[in-house]
Structure formats: C-alpha cells, structure tokens
Structure 1
Amino acid sequence: MALGDTLRGSRLGALLGARAPAGDAAIAAAALRSDRFRQEREGDWKRLDAIVTRIEQGRLRSLSDEDLLALPVLYRTVASSLSVARETSLDAATLAYLEALVQRAWFQVYGPRQGLGRWLLRFLGGGWSRAVREIWPDLLITLALMVAGAFVGWKLCAADPSWYFTLFPAEGDPRVPGAGQAVLRASLFGQSQQNGLAAFAAYLFSHNAQISILAFALGFAFGIPSLLLAIQNTATLGAMLWLFHSQALLPDLIGWLSVHGTTELFAILLAAAAGLHIGRAFAFPGDLPVLEAAARAGRRASTVMAGVVLMLVVAAMLEGFARQLLDATGPRLVVGLSMLVFWLWYFFAFRRDPGALR
C-alpha cells in the first residue's frame, strides 16, 4: 500500500471511530497537522524509499551519481522527520512508516557491506596475501633477526652448555646437555600411540597464540619488543638444534620440527613483522601525521594478524596430530616442506585481486 493511502486510511479509521464532537475536533486537528507534515516532507521520504528499495534488490549499479550522493543526506533528513514526528505525537501510521524507512536506510548507509561468508572469501582470496606482501620490508628485517637469533643460540650453547638452561628452561625435560642419543631419540619417535593429542593441540595453540599476539600488541613501542620476542623464540630453537646436533640427530630433529614448525615459525614471523610495521609507522610516519600513518599501518597489520590466528590453528593441528602419527623423518620432512611451499606460494605467488570477488 502506498504511503498516502496508508496515512489516509489511518486518519479515516480514526475519524469514523470517534464519537464525541470534542473528540472529532481533536482528531481532525491532529489529522490536519499530520497531513501538512507529510505533504511538506513526503517527496524526500519517497525518494529515499525508492533508492533504498533499489539497493535492497541488488540494483545499485542502476542508481545515478546524484542518488548515491543524496542517500546520506536523505537519511539524515528522514531521521530528523522521525524525531519531529515522535515529539509532536503524529499518527501511528506515519511513525511506523518512518521508523521502518530509517532502519532500512541506516543499514545501507552505515551497515556492513558484506556478510561473513563474502568477507572470508575476499580475505582468503587475496586480501590476506596482499596485506602480507605490503609489509615485506618488515618481514625481511624480522626474518634476518630470527635467523640471527637461532645462530646466536647455537653458538652460545656450543661455547658454554650452561646457556642451554637459560634459553630452554624446561624443568624435568630429559632433553638437556649430557643426555644420551637414546634419550633424545625417544623424544622424537615412538609416540604415535600416545593419548591426549587433542588436548595437547589446544595447549600448543594457546601458547603460540599468546606469543604471536604479544609480539603484535607490543609493536607500538617502535617494534622493538616484537623483534626481541621473535629473537628469543629462535634462540631457543638454536639451542635445541645444537643439542641434537651433538648427538648426530639434527636431521631427525629438523624433520620432527618441520611438520608444524614451517607453519608455526611463519606465523610468528608474520606477527612480529606486523608489530614492527606499526612501530615503524610511529617512528617514521613520512609525510603523513603520526596518527594517520599508524592507523593505516594498523589496518594492514590487523589483516595479517587475522591470518596468523588461522595459521596457528593449522600448526596446532599438525603438531598435535600429524607429527605424532608420522613416526619417520622422511614423511615428516615431506609434510613440513609441503606446508612451507604452500605458504610461500600463497603469500608471494598468489596475487588474485580480492576486489574482483563478488
């Protein structure tokens, strides 16, 4: 039913239902006031209704530039009309119509532009990989320091084995300097029948997520804490590599670590680089104001971090299940290298434009 018919029908019903002459006069005055109010503003209401209806029907491209530019102005105008209608207690039909129209228009002006499914498609279909490529200087800096951290961890333990306990303070862990080859080998193989893999995966996800989120969150301090966390992580890795190398088990350890490590270390690399990206924006904003530069870097880094959470879930599943179920170095290396190739391809070779996904 048209707006005019709805309003006239409402006023007619109210007039017919009134019995007392005084009531008739009051209702007639209210109807006249409502009629004048509607006539003065009805053009804007109908235009906004037509624009919103076409958008809801998926015909956005058919709208003219004038209509698109007028949409937010008309929304505010109709919202003002609704406020006046409530203040002056106009008839219920007018209020109901305006409330529905304002709600529909608000969704088109301020509401989300896409659902979760479409956002996820755009995110995985190029948005995430593009954000990673955009922080490539930070990735190179972080990668260099992580490699240096592993090298330093190895060298410190080789010069003085007591450094191992500083870098790897795991009380009760049999993997310590002086442990025999059989002890170290037992920590790598023969665990395919152990129980509680799901709980172990959940613990690993929680632990690695805390490290990654902390590395990202501390980026505002010019990225220095983010880099220190990344270096500390790989220094621990270097200490473990040294220990197993001392017992001629380095290839087996690399296979054991690679199943989940290529994904997990990549995620930590991205998290620390995202934190550094924000820190660099604070320290070197360029031609932009500091807050604007930091806001832009923050949006880019937050996109990267959303993907880091997904990578950590994958790493936890690989560490909690695949690594334990594969009980030989060869298959473990195949899985680990396959994951590394996949991530490199996705981030640096997969260049689909997310804007092309509709």
Structure 2
Amino acid sequence: MAELQLKSHRFREEREADWRRLETLLAKVEKGGAAKLRRNELLEMPVLYQQALSSLSVARSISLDQSLVEYLESLCTRAYFFVYGTRTRLGERVLGFFRHEWPAAVRGLWRETLVSAAIMVVGAITAFVLVGQDPDWFYGFIPAELAGGRDPTASAASLRSTLYGEATLRDGLGVMAAFLFTHNSQVAIFAFALGFALCLPTAGLMVYNGCMLGAFLALFASHGLAFEATGWLMIHGVTELFAITLAGAAGFSIGWAVAFPGERTRVDAAAHAGRRAAMVMGGVVVMLFAAGLLEGFARQLIRHDLARYAVAAATGIFWAGYFYLPRKAPR
C-alpha cells in the first residue's frame, strides 16, 4: 500500500503541472468561449488534451488511486468537448434553431403537413354537417359538462354574450377555451408520440380534433354567429391549429418510415425520421406557448370582429412566411 501511494505521488508530481495548465485553459473557455484564448493557447489545447489522455491510460493500467483516475476522466471529458465538440455558444445554437433548423425541418415535412391538415379539415366539415343536421351530435364531440350551457339549447343572445363579454375562467366559454388549449396541447404531443404505430393513432387524433372544431362552429352557426365565433376562435386558433397540424405531420413522418423503411431497417428509418420530427416538435412547443399568450391576452382585449380577423390573418401570414419563404442557407 505504501509503495502504491508513493507511485501515485510521483506520477502526479511529474505530470500535474500539465493537468493544471489544461484545467486553467478550460476554465477560460467555459467562462468566455474560445475567443478568450490566444493563438498559442489554442494550439496548446490539443497537445495538453493528448497528454491528459495518456496520463489517464497509465493511471488505469497501473491501478493508481481511484480519486486520481476520476479526476483525469473528468478533465479529459471537458477537454474532449472543446477539441472535438461544437464551438458554438448556447445563444448561437438557439438562433440557428429558429433561423434555419426549425423552418428547414418543417419544409421537409410539407407532404405530411398537407395530409395532416386535410384530415383535420375533413373531421371539422363532417362534425359541422352532422351537428347542423342533428344538434344532438354536439354532445358526441363536446361533453355537456364542458359546454356549461353553451350548447344547442342556448339562445343566440346567450352565445353572443360569451363572445364579447368579460371572459373569465368561470364563464362557460372561458372554461371551454382553457379546455380546448389543454386538449390541443395533449393532441399535439400524442399525435407525435403515437406516430410510430403506422400513423393510425395520429390520424384518429387529427380527425377528432377537427370534429371538436366543427361542432363548436356549428353550434354558433345555427344561431347566425358563425362569423363572430370564427373570429373569436381564430385569433389564437391559427397558431394553435397550425401547431397541431405540424405535430400530426411529425407523427405521420415517423409512422410512414416504420411502415415503408425502404433500404433501411425499420429501427434506422424510424430514428432518421424521428430526428427531423423531434426538431419540428421543439418548435411546436413554442407555437403552443405563443397561442396561449394570444388566447390569454389578445382574445380578451380585442372585441371587434374585424380586428380579430386581422390578428388571425397576421399570424397566418407570419407563420407561412417564416416557414416557407426562401432563405439563404447557413454557412
């Protein structure tokens, strides 16, 4: 034991200066980025990293004390990310995501996006027609306890007051709005997560979400309030429904890769599709957050129909331009 301790002490004494030097340079990088290093220090880093790796290999082979081995492992891991890892800061990565990576991932799923949107529209039209022909269908899509009296038995005056009155969470329509946002967020997550099951659960979720939308609009349309209700809904619904559509597209892309993997194995095909779909879903979370802000503030503050439609149109134009207008490729 005494011989082992002596060997460890000599080993550390001969090499510790280089380890400390590497640790000092890493601390400068971690604090202010690679720009903090001078030219000679940048050239010095790979050499010190290789020396630290060599020391770690020797320490493991001659069974030096575990604390020294753990210290060298930590030091080499930190140095590895500088020597071989990306040199971008967090802010640059976030900027790159919003400027290039997310829009490119969405454009890559344009076919799946069209399919997702078409399925939701079919569901909405179906529910709208069914409720229009038989109001009892409304309860098949929206539970009576959730409607809070805003159902086929309500008067036109009562429904109109919910569109322009003080909408709090205690109001029936306010409760419905909160529920719809929570529901839509869940639909977006599950549509993506269940896409691997050959697209079927994702398609079902898109249909049902469209049916809820259609039933809601049919209720107000039956009292001559379709224009007003659409403006009330679309002020945040453009962003929210677009987010759900993209989540469905992400789920469809994974399901399609599993069903038709091509030359890849199903696991490899699903993993390849999943990376792009996950990029899309990261942005969907941002869109749902933006929709929540629009619902919580703009919908309450803006009471004029044309102003509501203007906001809805502006958000639609913004998202369409953001995702689909040509842009310079990243360098």
Aligned counterparts of 2:253 and 2:200: Cα–Cα separation in 1: 11
| CA pair 227-72 structure 1, distance change in 2 beyond 3 A | farther
Specify the structure having the higher radius of gyration (Cα). 1
1:215–1:226 contact (8 Å) kept in structure 2: yes
The equivalent residue for 2:121 is 147
Match of 1:269 among 209, 231, 245: 245
**Amino acid across the alignment from 1:80:** S
Partner residue of 2:185 out of 209, 233, 240:
209
Q: For 2:322 and 2:109, how far apart are their aligned partners in 1?
A: 15
Gapped regions of structure 2 (runs ≥ 5): none
Give the match's secondary structure for 1:313. helix
Of 162, 175, 180, the match for 2:136: 162
**1:248 lines up with 2:224 in the alignment:** yes
Superposition deviation, residue 287 in structure 1: 1.6
Which TM-score applies when normalising by structure 2?
Answer: 0.79
The alignment partner of 2:198 has SS state of coil
Q: Which residue of 1 aligns with 2:162?
A: 187
Which of 307, 313, 323 is matched with 1:337 structurally?
313
2:300 corresponds, among 324, 333, 339, to 324
**CA deviation digits over 1:20-67, x for unaligned, max 9?**
xxx9xx79x8599749x979xxxxx89xx6xx989974599x99xxx9
Residues in 1 aligned to 2:250 and 2:193: alpha-carbon distance in whole angstroms: 9
SS at match of 1:219: coil
| Residue in structure 2 matched with residue 14 of structure 1 by the alignment | none
What CA distance in whole angstroms lies between the structure 1 residues aligned with 2:49 and 2:265?
Answer: 28
Q: 2:277 aligns with which of 297, 301, 306?
A: 301
Note if 1:84 corresponds to 2:61.
Answer: yes
CA distance in 2, matches of 1:32, 1:323: 70
- Per the alignment, do residues 82 and 209 of structure 1 end up closer, same or farther by CA in structure 2, a change over 3 Å counting? farther
Identity over the aligned pairs, expressed in percent? 40
Offset of 1:178 from its aligned partner? Answer: 3.7
Q: Residue 149 of structure 2 is aligned with which of 174, 190, 193?
A: 174
Distance 2:70 2:133 in 1: 80
- What secondary structure does 1:188 align onto? helix
Is residue 224 of structure 1 aligned with residue 170 of structure 2? no
Provide the rounded CA distance (Å) in 2 between the counterparts of 1:189 and 1:88. Answer: 76
For 1:169-189, what per-residue CA distance to the aligned partner results, in whole angstroms no more than 9, with x for missing partners? 132522222422101101111
Taking the aligned partners of 2:296 and 2:36, their CA distance within structure 1 comes to: 49
Q: Which amino acid aligns with 1:79?
A: L
Q: Which runs of 5+ in 1 are unaligned?
A: 1-22, 40-44
Comparing 324-333 with 240-249, greater Cα deviation is found at 240-249
Amino acid paired to 2:148: D
**d(CA) in 2 for partners of 1:316, 1:89:** 55
Q: Does 1:136 find its partner at 2:110?
A: yes
Matches of 2:144 and 2:250 in 1, distance apart?
29
Q: Distance in 1 between matches of 2:319 and 2:235?
A: 13
Separation of aligned partners in 1, 2:181 and 2:252: 23
Matches of 1:32 and 1:327, distance apart in 2: 77
The RMSD of aligned alpha carbons is 4.0
1:9 aligns to what? none
TM-superposed CA distance for 1:215, in Å, is 1.2
Contact 1:130 1:351 in 2 (8 A): no
**TM-score, length of structure 1 as denominator length:** 0.74
CA deviation after TM superposition for structure 1 residue 79, in Å: 3.2
Q: Cα distance, 1:107 vs. partner?
A: 2.9
Q: Report deviation, 1:115.
A: 3.9
CA contact (8 A) 2:132 2:222 kept: no
Q: 1-side partners of 2:235 and 2:155: how far apart?
A: 24
Question: 1:101, 1:176 → 2: CA distance?
Answer: 65
Count matched residues: 314
Amino acid at match of 1:342: F
Give the partner amino acid of 1:181. Answer: A
- 1:75–1:284 CA distance, 2 compared to 1 (3 A): farther
Q: Give the Cα separation in 2 of the matches to 1:212 and 1:32.
A: 59
The structure whose RCO (Cα within 8 Å, separation 6+) is larger is 1
Amino acid of the residue matched to residue 233 of structure 1?
Answer: N
